[in-house]
């Protein structure tokens, strides 16, 4: 099969939800494909039957789509390199396994899990790198037959020679491994299922992958994989290993740092554009100092060489900052659509809001939303049956000067005939009548009308609430 030049892939194992670290790997591959006019391929690595689940596969695809990452070939789309689930490619692995047997690079290994674990522990105790020490490599024909008669089913290991593996990593530069120190590795399990390292080589080769871009935790795997390429006489792709996403304590980002799944950020009301922007540029310098960049510009500026070698620190506060900016800059119609789908997804009943009322509220609070979920508090704030005074607001309203401000406001608003009170005129009159200004004037009004000490501009709040709601709220207090 002849493939076009640039082909990259994202190859998740559906054993959990899409983690932001994996989402970043997907993004870097996708950006590379879009930057250089290549293809982005989605492959599902589902050979671990015990840990794999269909629901995770569905969710991963769904989260990628939500983020705005599209693929050119994949399990749901087909394409010239398919099938795109490893579980559907077993025949291919079997054929390649035969080739490795034919070039005499495999041997059967009869060691049990327990024996391997004991060897591993012993090596660690002697401060040596854990690896397979080659116990089954030199078994005689008779010894193998005896083990088989005992009912042991072998796995197959790759026989590493006195060789080195060298390659030029597109991010990390020149890499070199002393292969003999790695230990013979498993290529096929006793169940016949290929190991990760073997399946990946077969797939990347057969799918015409030109560049493998993945996390640095796969560096040793790359050495193993290059040995397989060499043994099979395949041309290897280029490799780029990016740094991993770390928590603020510089440990690999994990659940103990808080939310890590794309799904969680989605259900907490982050905009996909904000998450995509943040994950694309974190730990890289190709943004050239600009942080807020639309997708099209990120694609134009993308450069593998400018992905940092050091870890990329995931800072949720920074992501929140990105999100608030994206919300603020959104076209209100788009934001309203996002809010509707968010509230629907979270099961919030917003049927009592007419579309015009809903948009009026959104436009009033757009600048105050950190996440989409913040809208819930604001919907409640504008609802006469749900609005409540916070403790701070209650305390503020107990003060005598607060009450005189409210009384003045009450008298003035009562005199206004229009339903939509003219905020400027009202405030001006109350200021003159009470002699208060600044915080002493605005805070009691804000506390009484919104129940809180901060929030959207009061003028906007007045416009959304209308005269009767404002009067009702002040009456309850005074
Ligand atoms: N399924 C592997 C993972 O999720 C893919 C690694 C690779 O890109 O080769 O880590």
> Does some domain include residue 379?
no
Are residues 129 and 224 located together in one domain of the fold?
yes
Indicate if the pLDDT at residue 17 is higher than 80. Answer: yes
Portion of the chain with pLDDT greater than 90, in percent: 90
pLDDT, residue 220, reads: 96
Question: Is residue 40 classed exposed, middle or buried when 0-12, 13-18 and 19+ CB atoms within 10 A define those classes?
Answer: buried
Are residues 141 and 230 located together in one domain of the fold?
yes
Residues β-bridged to residue 106: 158
How far is the centre of ligand 1, averaged over its atoms, from the C-alpha of 287 (Å)? 26
pLDDT, residue 329, reads: 97
pLDDT, residue 42, reads: 98
Indicate if the pLDDT at residue 108 is higher than 80. Answer: yes
Are residues 135 and 232 located together in one domain of the fold?
yes
Are residues 325 and 198 located together in one domain of the fold?
no
Are residues 269 and 233 located together in one domain of the fold?
no
Of the residues 242, 272, 304, the one at which a domain ends: 242
Are residues 97 and 225 located together in one domain of the fold?
yes
Which domain CATH number covers 321? 1.10.1160.10
State the average pLDDT over residues 28-40. Answer: 97
> Does some domain include residue 461?
yes
Are residues 366 and 396 located together in one domain of the fold?
no
Q: 377-392 as b/e, with b when 16 or more CB fall inside 10 Å? A: ebbebbeeeebebeee
Residue among 77, 153, 255, 300 flagged as catalytic: 255
CB 243 within 8 A of CB 311: yes
Indicate if the pLDDT at residue 414 is higher than 90. Answer: no
State the average pLDDT over residues 142-170. Answer: 96
pLDDT, residue 478, reads: 86
pLDDT, residue 415, reads: 84
Residue 417: which domain range? Answer: 387-477
Q: What is the C-alpha to C-alpha distance for residues 51 and 284, in angstroms, rounded to an integer?
A: 33
Eight-state DSSP code of residue 229:
H
The answer, yes or no, to whether any atom of ligand 1 lies below 6 A from the CB of 214, is yes
The token duo for 449 is: 């009308």
Tell me: the pLDDT tens digits for 392-406? 999 999 999 999 999
Indicate if the pLDDT at residue 419 is higher than 70. Answer: no
> Does some domain include residue 119?
yes
> Does some domain include residue 17?
no
Classify strands 186-188 and 238-242 as parallel, antiparallel or unpaired. Answer: unpaired
The answer, yes or no, to whether any atom of ligand 1 lies below 6 A from the CB of 9, is no
The number of distinct structural domains making up the chain is 3
Residue with tokens 């009384």: 407
Confidence bin at 77 (pLDDT 50/70/90): very high
Confidence bin at 154 (pLDDT 50/70/90): very high
> Does some domain include residue 55?
no
> Does some domain include residue 56?
no
- For the entire predicted model, the pTM comes to 0.93
pLDDT, residue 287, reads: 87
CB 75 within 8 A of CB 162: no
Q: Compute the mean pLDDT over every residue in the chain, rounded to the nearest whole number.
A: 95
Active site residue 255: yes
CB 272 within 8 A of CB 64: no
pLDDT, residue 421, reads: 64
Residue with tokens 């799918």: 207
Which domain CATH number covers 144? 3.40.50.620
Are residues 276 and 232 located together in one domain of the fold?
no
State the average pLDDT over residues 286-300. Answer: 93
The answer, yes or no, to whether any atom of ligand 1 lies below 6 A from the CB of 13, is yes
> Does some domain include residue 79?
no
Of the residues 339, 374, 409, the one at which a domain ends: 374
State the average pLDDT over residues 147-165. Answer: 96
Confidence bin at 212 (pLDDT 50/70/90): very high
Distances (CA, A) of 459 to 302, 329, 381: 43, 21, 15
Confidence bin at 259 (pLDDT 50/70/90): confident
Are residues 117 and 238 located together in one domain of the fold?
yes
Distances (CA, A) of 396 to 47, 392, 412: 63, 6, 21
Which domain CATH number covers 437? 1.10.10.350
**Among the ranges given (40-44, 150-154, 307-311, 388-392), the one the predictor scored with the smallest mean pLDDT:** 307-311
pLDDT, residue 172, reads: 95
Are residues 113 and 157 located together in one domain of the fold?
yes
Q: 317-344 as b/e, with b when 16 or more CB fall inside 10 Å? A: eebbbbbbebbeebeeeebbebbeebbe
Are residues 232 and 98 located together in one domain of the fold?
yes
Confidence bin at 49 (pLDDT 50/70/90): confident
pLDDT, residue 1, reads: 58
Confidence bin at 4 (pLDDT 50/70/90): confident
Q: Which residues touch 472 (CB under 8 Å, ≥6 apart)?
A: 384
Question: Measured from the CA of 25, which atom of ligand 1 is nearest?
Answer: 8
How far is the centre of ligand 1, averaged over its atoms, from the C-alpha of 171 (Å)? 18
pLDDT, residue 311, reads: 86
Of the residues 182, 209, 242, the one at which a domain ends: 242
Are residues 370 and 391 located together in one domain of the fold?
no
Confidence bin at 420 (pLDDT 50/70/90): low
Indicate if the pLDDT at residue 295 is higher than 70. Answer: yes
Indicate if the pLDDT at residue 222 is higher than 80. Answer: yes
The answer, yes or no, to whether any atom of ligand 1 lies below 6 A from the CB of 11, is yes
> Does some domain include residue 405?
yes
């Amino acid at each position: 099969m002849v493939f076009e030049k640039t082909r990259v892939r994202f190859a998740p194992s559906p054993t959990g939800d899409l983690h932001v670290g994996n989402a970043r790997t997907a993004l870097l591959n996708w950006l590379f494909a879009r930057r250089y006019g290549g293809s982005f391929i989605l492959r599902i690595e589902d050979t671990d039957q015990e840990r794999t689940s269909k629901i995770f596969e569905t969710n991963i695809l769904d989260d990628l789509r939500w983020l705005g990452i599209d693929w050119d070939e994949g399990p749901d789309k087909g394409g010239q390199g398919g099938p795109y689930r490893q579980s559907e490619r077993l025949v291919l692995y079997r054929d390649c396994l035969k080739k490795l047997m034919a070039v005499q690079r495999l041997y059967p290994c009869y060691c049990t899990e327990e024996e391997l674990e004991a060897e591993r522990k012993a090596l660690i105790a002697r401060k040596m790198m854990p690896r397979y020490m080659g116990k089954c490599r030199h078994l005689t024909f008779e010894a193998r037959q005896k083990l088989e008669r005992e009912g042991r089913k072998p796995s197959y290991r790759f026989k590493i020679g006195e060789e080195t593996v060298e390659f030029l990593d597109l991010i990390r530069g020149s890499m070199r491994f002393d292969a003999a120190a790695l230990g013979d590795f498993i290529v096929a399990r006793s169940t016949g299922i290929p190991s990760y390292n073997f399946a990946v080589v077969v797939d990347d080769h057969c799918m015409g992958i030109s560049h493998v871009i993945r996390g640095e935790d796969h560096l040793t795997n790359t050495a193993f994989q290059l040995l397989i390429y060499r043994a099979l006489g395949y041309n290897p792709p280029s490799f780029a290993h990016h740094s991993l996403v770390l928590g603020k304590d510089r440990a690999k980002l994990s659940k103990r740092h808080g939310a890590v799944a794309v799904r969680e950020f989605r259900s907490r009301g982050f905009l996909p554009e904000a998450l995509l922007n943040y994950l694309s540029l974190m730990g890289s310098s190709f943004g050239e100092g600009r942080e807020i960049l639309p997708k099209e510009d990120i694609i134009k500026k993308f450069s593998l060489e400018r992905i940092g070698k050091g870890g990329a620190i995931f800072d949720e506060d920074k992501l929140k900052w990105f999100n608030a900016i994206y919300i603020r800059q959104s076209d209100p119609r788009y934001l309203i659509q996002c809010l509707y789908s968010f509230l629907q997804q979270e099961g919030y009943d917003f049927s009592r809001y007419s579309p015009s009322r809903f948009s009026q509220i959104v436009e009033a609070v757009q600048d105050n939303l950190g996440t989409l979920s913040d809208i819930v508090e604001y919907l409640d704030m504008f609802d006469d049956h749900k609005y409540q005074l916070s403790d701070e607001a209650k305390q503020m309203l107990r003060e005598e000067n607060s009450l005189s401000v409210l009384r003045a406001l009450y008298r003035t608003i009562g005199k206004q005939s229009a339903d939509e009170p003219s905020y400027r005129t009202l405030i001006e009159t109350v200021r003159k009548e009470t002699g208060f200004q600044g915080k002493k004037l605005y805070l009691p009004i804000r506390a009484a009308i919104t129940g809180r000490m901060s929030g959207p501009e009061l003028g906007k709040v007045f416009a959304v609430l209308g005269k009767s709601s404002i009067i009702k709220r002040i009456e309850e207090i005074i």
